[in-house]
């Protein structure tokens, strides 16, 4: 029997199919295809937009695509000092060096930089990761940010209206000064766009040096009481509530809580 891969009964783009298989994000799949790593029925495919209606015959680096697994999502409390990347040319530690070995292959939803901490979502579905990241999804990301400086009301109002830094336009950012203790102030910031190092860049434009950055929520997902280095799977019912009923049919029917000390997973 052919293993079909269609979206609403229609053929799907090959890059999307590879992402759905959990191998990588859709963008990464597009790069793999252009690099000649993907073939269909023995012929190299270099067009990431080509539509296919079955995964039979599709191979990446000579290997058939894995059978699609149920969509799963985990909350992970990323510590400072780890990169959100699978491999680092400089051999620095990444989050994937510390995840439990019992986890399937997972992809991060967006990134947190080396010196940032807090909530990072992981999923085994590259296409779902892409949907979570899209600005069109409209999800807010909430952060607590400690800065060396004394934020003033006019600066906070400027951020609320959106600003440009080094030629890059940043969408309005909601900012609230939670408290000021000496030379350090704690801000609560809400983003809807999430450009590369956005918080650090806009803060530095006002002369505030960020010395701690914690993401406390991403859309409906919250960091909660998750300790540094801990990972916790989102129950399928809660996931369906958050993302809608479209993917409920392919979700797992059990909840798995993975200890950060499980085999490869270590508390940091």
CATH number for 207: 3.30.70.1560
Shared domain check, 237 and 132: yes
81 and 182 in a single domain? The answer is no
Does residue 49 sit in the same domain as residue 152?
Answer: no
Quote the number of domains for the chain.
3
Mean per-residue pLDDT for 144-168? 94
Query: Do 80 and 33 sit in the same domain of this protein?
Result: no
Q: Catalytic pick from 97, 113, 125, 154?
A: 113
- The yes-or-no answer on residue 53 being catalytic is no
Domain carrying residue 206: 140-218
Q: Is the pLDDT of residue 138 over 90?
A: no
Mean pLDDT value across residues 21-33: 84
121 lies in the same domain as 191: no
The pTM (predicted TM-score) of the whole model is 0.72
CATH number where 101 lies: 3.30.70.580
Residues 150, 182 contacting (CB under 8 angstroms)? no
Give 64-110 pLDDT, tens digit per residue.
887 667 788 999 999 999 999 888 889 899 999 999 988 988 999 99
56: CATH? 3.10.290.10
The pLDDT score that the predictor gives to residue 148 is 97
In a domain, 263, yes or no: no
Does residue 236 come out as left (phi exceeding 0), alpha (psi in the -120 to 50 range) or beta?
alpha
Question: Do 215 and 108 contact (CB within 8 A), yes or no?
Answer: no
Are residue 40 and residue 148 in the same domain, yes or no?
no
241 in any annotated domain: yes
Rounded to the nearest integer, the mean pLDDT of the chain is 85
Tens-digit pLDDT profile for residues 193-230: 878 899 999 999 999 999 999 999 999 999 999 999 99
pLDDT in tens, 35-47: 999 999 999 999 9
The two beta strands, 117-123 and 209-218, are parallel
pLDDT digits (tens, 9 = 90+) for 48-59: 889 988 888 899
Among candidate residues 23, 46, 21, the one with its CA nearest the CA of residue 36: 46
């Amino acid at each position: 029997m052919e293993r079909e891969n269609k979206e609403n009964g229609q053929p799907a783009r090959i890059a999307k199919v590879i992402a759905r298989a959990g191998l990588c994000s859709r963008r990464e799949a597009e790069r793999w295809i252009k690099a000649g790593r993907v073939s269909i029925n023995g012929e190299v495919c270099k067009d990431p937009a080509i539509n296919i209606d079955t995964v039979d015959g599709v191979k990446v680096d000579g290997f058939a695509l894995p059978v699609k697994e149920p969509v799963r999502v985990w909350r992970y409390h990323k510590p400072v000092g780890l990169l959100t990347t699978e491999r680092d040319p400089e051999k620095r530690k990444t989050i994937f060096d510390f995840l439990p070995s019992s986890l399937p292959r997972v992809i991060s939803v967006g990134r947190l930089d080396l010196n940032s901490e807090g909530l990072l979502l992981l999923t085994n579905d590259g296409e779902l990761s892409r949907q979570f990241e899209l600005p069109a999804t409209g999800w807010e990301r909430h952060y607590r940010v400690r800065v060396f400086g004394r934020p003033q009301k006019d600066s906070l109002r400027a951020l609320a209206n959106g600003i440009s830094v080094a030629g890059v336009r940043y969408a309005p950012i909601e900012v609230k000064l939670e408290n000021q203790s000496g030379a350090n102030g704690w801000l609560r910031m809400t983003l809807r766009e999430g450009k590369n190092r956005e918080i650090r860049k806009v803060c530095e434009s006002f002369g505030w040096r960020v010395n701690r950055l914690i993401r406390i929520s991403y859309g409906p997902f919250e960091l909660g009481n998750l300790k540094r280095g801990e990972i916790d799977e989102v129950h399928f019912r809660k996931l369906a509530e958050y993302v809608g009923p479209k993917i409920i049919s392919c979700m797992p029917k059990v909840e798995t809580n993975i200890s950060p000390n499980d085999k490869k997973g270590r508390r940091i």
